[in-house]
Amino acid sequence: MALMQFLITALLGLQVLAASPLTKKPADPTVPHCFNDQEVQKTECPAALAKIIYDKDTLNKLETELSVVSGECLIRVYNRKQAVVTKKQIEETVTGIVKSCKSGHAKIKGNTEVAIWVTRRLQRRNWYTPYDPDFPLEKTYCFHRDGVVKEDCLEAFNQLPVDKQGQLVSPATKKLAHSLDLKFKSCRVTAYTTDGTNVLVKNRMSRPS
């Protein structure tokens, strides 16, 4: 089941620092590409893997992107083309990465449309904390940023469009999407699912009372 979060933030850019490669990227995309500037806690990766939910040992194809974490082992699976991916393929790929690297990424053997990354949690905790896969979905997280007007946030929220069925849709395409984003003056409102599936929320469920 897809999980959905709302974030209300100041208009402040986030800069994600990419990990530096240890060596030249291998020609074979299924060979792990290692990073040398961060090291995962490899003993925590099995617990992270155990958090992935399968349907009869197969990943739900509607989940185009998912993340799981335990301690300092963060696993991300990217399946943008909705390929069939098995539990065995994911576990073997993760095992290959952690055996070869401090951290890194690789594509699944026999299924190179799917990429898996194994890294530490994102740093700069003040901004990344609410994006952690294990952050409680119903817990409020406050961003401390001057200049945000609460009324702007409410207006941005109220301007999120809906379709004929009352479902929230993308302001850009007016269609269902996995991420909805709208800004008004000093505030940006984002609604997104944690697994890349479409946001399925009707306006009566999402509007503040």
202: Cβ contacts below 8 Å, ≥ 6 apart: 162, 165, 166, 167, 168
The answer to whether residues 9 and 143 touch, using CB atoms and an 8 Å cutoff, is: yes
- Paired sense of beta strands 187-193 and 179-184, if any: antiparallel
Tens digit of pLDDT at every position of the chain (209 positions): 455 555 554 443 333 334 444 455 658 999 999 999 999 999 999 999 999 999 999 999 889 999 999 999 999 999 999 999 999 999 999 999 999 999 999 999 999 999 999 999 877 656 678 888 998 888 888 887 789 999 999 999 889 888 888 888 999 999 998 889 999 999 999 988 888 888 888 765 454 43
Taking CA 64 as the corner, what is the angle to CA 17 and CA 193, rounded to the nearest 5 degrees? Answer: 80
pLDDT of 56: 93
Span 33-59, pLDDT tens digits: 999 999 999 999 999 999 999 999 999
- Paired sense of beta strands 4-10 and 187-193, if any: antiparallel
The Cα–Cα gap between 119 and 32 comes to 12
The Cα–Cα gap between 91 and 77 comes to 11
- Position 13, amino acid: G
pTM above 0.85, yes or no: no
